[in-house]
Amino acid sequence: MKTQKAVMKFLLLALSLFPSFVSAQDTPLLSGGPVQHNLMPVPTAVRFLEGRVVIDKTFGVATKGHTDARLQAAIERFLTRLKGRTNVTITPGLKTDAAAATVVVQCSGPGSGIPALGEDESYELKISGTQVQLVAPTVVGALRGLETLLQLLISDRDGYYFPAVEIKDQPRFRWRGLLIDIARHYQPPEVLKRNLDGMAALKLNVLHWHLTEDQGFRVESKKFPRLHQMGSDGLFYTQEQIKEIIEYARQRGIRVVPEFDIPGHATSWLVGHPELGSAPGPYTIERGAGIFEPALDPTREDVYKFLETFLTEMAALFPDAYMHIGGDENEGKQWDRNPKIQSFMKEKGIKDNHALQAYFNQRLLKILEKNDKKMIGWDEILQPGLPTSTVIHSWRGTQALADAARKGYDGILSNGYYIDLSFPAAQHYAMDPIPPDSALTENERKHILGGEATMWAEWVSPETIDSRIWPRTAAIAERLWSPPIVTDVDDMYRRLAVVSVQLEELGLTHQRNVDVLLRRMAGSNEIGPLKVLLSIVEPVKEYRRGQQRPATMLSPLTGLVDAAIPDSAAARQFAKMVDGLISDAPRFQTSAVELRKMLTEWRDAEPALIALSERSPSLAEAKALAKDLGNLGEVGLESLSYLTAGVSPPNEWHAAKISVLEEASKPKSSALEFAVLTSMRKLIVAAVEVKQATKMSPIEWRKMVLERAASPSK
């Protein structure tokens, strides 16, 4: 079923944007080619053909037409990664003879020297005979094509090869970003670099660099050195480092949009410059998480003079055409309490804080315009009088974005892409900047530029940030690049697992650091039982972590919740096995063996975990979880026994087992939650109803079990 579905998807894709591609329904496009690919994001049009280009020591790349240092460096990186994946000795450097090269990259021109919004990122890949042809109008297009080519690499007994294929590809949205908040927790340049590599691999094209916050001012200002000196704990980027990051991003076709979040979220500015604040100060760097009162004073001319000098300095440092001014979550409490601000408002006829912020933004806008920068800010900046040259960045949602579009504003979506909230990839994947039911006109849709995943950094360290970004952000990258009909969640997860392993070659630590944290907590290499536990728990969602496990920016990020992954693969597998078992009524054999193995592991991990947690106080949080884990294993095994024996449990059994689930679902100080409870409830209900299985059709029985499991009263 799955394979057929995937095939259908390709065929549909082939039609979507390039009518010259033959209709899938008419032609057996996939004969001889692989029926499953690992491409992510899925290209606009893919047609697999007969044949393959084999990877061996003679492998080499040549360029035709335009070539430059950026393209050549990208080809070198491509060769290194290909070498690493295949274990074939491939010689670095370009081939001079295009006819003899395995890959020919043909660029029409350099494109923008500095990556720019709307740059042509399209490319075509044609693999046939013994050669790969990559054709692109710009170097950035070629870069995107090289990433696709690497993802095409597959192997069989005979070796590694690129399957014969024709691909025509271009992004659906122009703005495909990742916001990294390095203010709440600082990230050294190498963390940004490896994440830029990850972004390039997934064809993301904007690094939104959230540089200032209540908790840190992280950019060197030569004009106002007290900003970074007093507002950063010494953890800031020098201008040299910033230039290096921008160049690193440029090499990968990625724009860097800086954000200076004002007038709220600005405590760290005020540590060195209390005179900018709306209350007298003094101020200290904020250590908590949340929304804080300190805000710049929008009524004083010297504040604008300061901002003009500062933003002019920053405008020269950051070459992108856009500058993000934040503008979010300013509640104006300092403004309310400041009599001077109140009389200013009265004087100017500014009726409320929203209007005052609109006034502030108007002033900012003039400064940005002087510097040839376009303004972008969060939803809140959309106030009467805001010129439509401004871009709205929506944390509110697609509706707010659509409303803005109707008013003529460009916008990007982040609502639904808050990767800090620990939701599974599937949930982000389902969020479309232009939902299928959108009522926007063709012209209004053009205002929806794209979206950004947001890595807010209350609870990430350099050791854990990668595992919060990847691999889930790849699903968002696909949403922003691929045609909207690409929505098969199972196939997304299948490809995501492959991509996740590939991302490791870029130095990303999202997989490898899990064990590092577990070993540190255990103080040893014996982490088997911890891995069993971690496999089926996830960090709690939304903002519950801060509630269940209170902490500050100075707290360690080396606990169980930091090791846990927001998207449990084992829980997905468990859910599939349970569904398989229930669909197998009344035989109940299909998944029983594997299920029993998994459940036994849970049950057996409990005593080892308890012992571990008593030895290692940093694992104290594991104790309550261990008990639940053992109980869940036990409940599952009992359910399986009843099911496979076809015997109903005693009457009181049901309630007793449901209470185990309820116990396991209680909030815990670990800020972790079990990701298997829904499936476990199905299993329990199935056991209770096992006798009915012989009295109904399998489909009816399954339906009844699922309904009862979904009903909270049962």
> Exposure string (b/e) for 377-401, b if CB count within 10 Å is 16 or more?
bbbbbbbeebeeebbbbbbbbbebb
Q: How far, in Å, CA of 378 to CA of 672, rounded?
A: 31
Which tokens in the block code for residue 249? 């991003």
Backbone angles phi, psi at 496, to 5 degrees: -60, -40
* H helix intervals, 616-675: 622-645, 653-664
Q: Does 512 bind a second copy (CB under 8 A)?
A: yes
Q: Is 509 in the site for a second copy (CB under 8 A)?
A: yes
Considering the rule CB under 8 A, would residue 244 count as an interface residue with a second copy? Answer: no
Listing DSSP states for 488-507 in one string gives: -HHHHHHHHHHHHHHHGGGT
State in angstroms the smallest separation of the CB of 452 from a second copy: 27
Query: Which member of 215, 394, 422, 513 binds a second copy (CB under 8 A)?
Result: 513
ω before 462 within 30° of 0 (cis)?
Answer: no
Minimum Å distance from CB 169 to a second copy? 23
Listed residue (499, 491, 506, 445) closest to 474, CA to CA: 499
Helix (H), strand (E) at residue 679: helix 677-688
Residue 187 DSSP label:
-
Q: What is the pattern of x (binds a second copy, CB under 8 A) and - over residues 139-158?
A: ----------------xxxx
User: Looking at 414-422, 441-449, 552-560, 661-669, which segment touches a second copy (CB under 8 A)?
Assistant: 552-560
**Residues numbered 55-84 forming contacts with a second copy, rule: CB under 8 A:** 83-84
Which tokens belong to 463?
Answer: 């050791």
Shorter beta-carbon distance to a second copy: residue 34 or 586: 34
Q: Is 556 in the site for a second copy (CB under 8 A)?
A: yes
Per CB under 8 A, 86 contacts a second copy: yes
- CA neighbours within 13 Å on the CB side: how many for 183? 30
Q: Which is nearer to a second copy, 92 or 408 (CB)?
A: 92
576 binds a second copy (CB under 8 A): no
Task: Please say which residue, 27 or 36, places its beta carbon nearer to a second copy.
Answer: 36
Query: Could you tell me the smallest distance in angstroms from the CB atom of residue 577 to a second copy?
Result: 17
Q: What is the full DSSP assignment across 566-578? A: SS-HHHHHHHHHH
Question: Binding to a second copy (CB under 8 A): which residues in 446-505?
Answer: 497-498, 500-502, 504-505
Please say which residue, 84 or 225, places its beta carbon nearer to a second copy: 84
Q: Closest CB to a second copy among 501 and 656?
A: 501
Structural contact between residues 629 and 612, judged by C-beta atoms closer than 8 angstroms: no
Instruction: Pick from 120, 244, 490, 515 the residue near a second copy by CB under 8 A.
Output: 515
Distance CA 483, CA 45 (A): 9
Looking at the Cβ atoms of 485 and 501, the one nearer to a second copy is: 501
Which lies closer to a second copy via its Cβ, residue 501 or residue 645?
Answer: 501
Strand ranges (E), 102-204: 103-107, 123-128, 131-136, 154-156, 159-169, 175-181
Q: Which part of the chain contacts a second copy (CB under 8 A), choosing from 347-355, 451-459, 611-619, 648-656?
A: 611-619
Give the residue numbers marked as catalytic.
329
Helix (H, G, I), strand (E, B) or coil at 672: strand
Shortest CB 144 distance to a second copy, Å: 22
Of the candidates 229, 438, 618, 678, which one interacts with a second copy according to CB under 8 A?
618
Specify the DSSP class assigned to residue 482: S
Q: Which long-range contacts (CB under 8 A, 24 or more apart) does 91-95 make?
A: 91/57, 91/60, 94/60, 94/61, 94/62, 94/63, 95/60, 95/61, 95/62
Nearer to a second copy, 287 or 366 (CB): 287
Region label for 225, one of left (φ > 0), alpha (ψ between -120 and 50) or beta (otherwise): alpha
**From the list 555, 659, 694, 711, which residue makes contact with a second copy (rule: CB under 8 A)?**
555
Distance separating alpha carbons of residues 89 and 86, to the nearest angstrom = 9
Counting contacts by CB under 8 A, is residue 615 touching a second copy?
Answer: yes
Query: For a second copy, which is the closer residue by CB, 489 or 516?
Result: 516
Name the token pair of 152: 């095409």
Cβ atoms of residues 146 and 419 within 8 Å: no
Residue found under tokens 């599939």: 576
**Considering the complex, what minimum distance in angstroms separates the CB of residue 294 from a second copy?**
22
Rule CB under 8 A: say whether 617 interacts with a second copy: yes
Write each residue from 364 to 403 as x if it is in contact with a second copy (CB under 8 A), else as -, in one continuous string: ----------------------------------------
- Say if residues 676 and 536 touch (Cβ distance below 8 Å): yes
Per DSSP, the three-state class of 268 is helix
For the bound state, the minimum distance from the C-beta of residue 156 to a second copy, rounded and expressed in Å, comes to 7
Return the residue of 516, 637, 696, 706 that touches a second copy, per CB under 8 A.
516
CB of 154 to a second copy, least distance (A): 9
Residue 87 binds a second copy, judged by CB under 8 A: yes
Kindly determine how many residues on this chain lie close enough to bind a second copy according to the rule CB under 8 A: 49
Q: Report, in Å, the least distance between residue 252 CB and a second copy.
A: 17
Site for a second copy in 178-237 (CB under 8 A): 190, 233
Query: What is the Cα–Cα distance from 202 to 557, expressed in whole angstroms?
Result: 27
Judged by the rule CB under 8 A, the positions of this chain that interact with a second copy are: 83-92, 155-160, 190, 233, 497-498, 500-502, 504-505, 509, 511-513, 515-516, 519-521, 523-525, 551-552, 554-556, 558-559, 614-618
